Structure 1
Amino acid sequence: MASERVRKRYVHALRFQWLTPAYDTIIKTTTREQRFKQALISQAQLGAGHQVLDVGCGTGTLAIWIKQRHPDVSVTGIDGEPAILAIARQKAQKAGVSVVFKQALAYSLPFPDHCFDRVFSSLLLHHMVWEDKVRTAREVFRVLKPGGTWHVADWGAPAHRIMRLLFFSIQLLDGFEQTRDHVTGRLPELFARAGFQEVQVGPSFSTLYGTLTLYQGRRPLA
């Protein structure tokens, strides 16, 4: 019964599996992907030897870009969809970079405590109801090393009325319950509830679908 509830709550990339082959093209042309993902990577201040996790990696674009910019870090990506992970593996092979991709859900990470220096999540949280957002935040907190940081790029509070109107398309696609927390600016609260400190709201980007915002929080040293 529990697995059935999870299945019903799960929202595929672009909502429908048949759209998966078009995912990269749609994201690239509608979200200013290059700009916001490179800003997210810069925000993380990666260093040599860091262990990095991309939660909800999708087709692997962010994970691959991280590895290309920082060849001396170890990158793992997880996603719940086998088909999208197959695309990610093909892209990494074509790019000539080594990234480990595993099938897993964000709120049940198959990793021990305190094993990653940085965790990334890009356009993941708006697929989840609040309960699953909280579970995911707690899992990210668990797998981060003390002092490690979580870096999120997702839909934020609309910058102005036009951005709010544009965001209705995302709400229709991915669900009003899942996206309500983004319209109301609740993501900093999510970080705090999981125990993160130094929670920051970073730059925002106006896109064809609304306002994309960067966030970060740090796991305390003790």
Structure 2
Amino acid sequence: MGNNVNKGFIPALKYKCLTKYFDLFLSVLMREYKIKNELIKYAGINNNEKILDFGCGTGTLLLMLKSYYPNNEINGVDIDKDVLTLANDKLFSKGLSIPLSIYDGENLPYESNYFDKILSSLVIHHIYPEDKLRIFNENRRILKPGGNIFILDFAKPKDFYSKIIVSILKRFEPIDDNIEGNIPDLLRKAGFTNISENFYFRTLFGGLTIYRASKLI
């Protein structure tokens, strides 16, 4: 996978030296707050639900979730120690304490049937194709029966501009599953049901969508 790659993931902006610029990149070029607000709104979170931000990165989505649902149990997990440090600093500056956990690339550090909802934002395209199914299986394991996962990530391009952009982007990130429309099939193979693809957001780096999937049993 290369010396600059963690097991199963490519670091934010691919190279470790660029991680500290990730927030600036997202806020300026990806309309981060707008699209993450749409993700939260679509997730339909209820009071007192247990929520996991899978691949929480530098903690922006965690801060938004906690501001909207201060009484909910919210957790963050990521495989990258560097971004977890940034997330912890960001949370501390806001006077917030949200449990952050490191993911070893194999087993998520939570008991089975624990979370009501899992949200994931711009993470799945960082994961190598051979690892996605295992990770979806782990996400399903920690969801309660009746729980849902909501994934905001790159979509199959719907216009010429997006096709050009993703043809360039795929040279740097393993996004083939996203742009070929394979994410729903992978979720289905992991045992999820009621799988849907909702919304389409155009950004400078291509189209984004929200995938939704349920764990029935």
TM-score, normalised to structure 2, is: 0.93
- 1:173: which partner in 2? 172
How far is 1:133 from its partner?
Answer: 0.7
1:83-103, CA deviations, whole angstroms, 9 ceiling, x for partnerless residues? 111110111122233311111
Quote the residue 1:97 is aligned against: 96
Question: 1 CA distance for matches of 2:206 and 2:111?
Answer: 36
1:215 to 192, 211, 217: 211
> Residue 59 of structure 1 contacts residue 88 of structure 1 at CA under 8 Å; is this kept in 2?
yes
* Residue matched to 1:52: 51
SS in 1 for 2:152: strand
Q: 1:185 aligns with which of 177, 181, 195?
A: 181
- Give the secondary-structure state (helix, strand or coil) at the position aligned to 2:200: strand
Which moved further from structure 2: 72-81 or 133-142? 72-81
Matches within 5 A, 1:5-20: 7=6, 9-20=8-19
In structure 1, how many angstroms separate the alpha carbons of the residues matched to 2:204 and 2:6? 29
Deviates more, 1:100-109 or 1:46-55: 100-109
Q: For residue 10 of structure 2, give the secondary structure of its aligned residue in structure 1.
A: coil
Tell whether the 8 Å contact from 1:9 to 1:128 is kept in structure 2 after alignment: yes
Q: Is the partner of 1:121 in helix, strand or coil?
A: strand
C-alpha deviations, 1:13-59, integer Å up to 9, x for none? Answer: 11000001100000111111111111111111111111111111110
- Write the distance in 1 (CA, Å) between the matches of 2:163 and 2:105: 27
Cα-to-partner distance string for 1:55-98 (whole Å, 9 max, x where unaligned)? 11110111111111111111111111111111101111222333
Range moving further from structure 2, 79-88 or 145-154? 79-88
Change (3 A) 1:117 1:96: same
Higher helix share: 1
**Which residue does the alignment assign to 1:128?**
127
Distance 1:173 1:129 in 2: 12
Gaps of 5+ in 1: none
TM-superposed deviation, 1:153: 0.4
Matched, 1:199 2:198: no
Question: Deviation per CA, 1:92-117, whole angstroms, max 9, x where unpaired?
Answer: 12223331111114542011100100
Q: 1:107 to 1:37 in 2, by over 3 A?
A: farther
Letter in 2 for 1:212: L
Residue 26 of structure 2 corresponds to residue 30 of structure 1: no
Decide which moves more: 91-100 or 19-28.
Answer: 91-100
**1:135 & 1:21 partners in 2: Cα distance?**
29
Instruction: Provide the alpha-carbon RMSD of the alignment.
Output: 1.6
- Structure 1 residues 219 and 26, CA gap change in structure 2 (3 angstroms): same
Compute the TM-score of the two structures, normalised by the length of structure 1. 0.91
Q: Distance in 2 between matches of 1:90 and 1:143?
A: 27
SS at match of 2:156: coil
**Deviation at 1:8?**
6.0
Deviation of 1:193 (Å): 1.0
Name stretches of at least 5 consecutive residues in structure 2 with no aligned partner. Answer: none
Contact 2:147 2:214 in 1 (8 A): yes
Contact 2:50 2:116 in 1 (8 A): yes
Instruction: Give the residue type in structure 2 aligned to 1:68.
Output: S
Other-structure match for 2:61: 62
Q: Secondary structure at the match of 1:88?
A: helix
SS at match of 2:172: helix
Q: What SS is found at the alignment partner of 1:27? A: helix
Q: Give the count of matched residue pairs.
A: 214
Q: 1:69 & 1:107 partners in 2: Cα distance?
A: 31
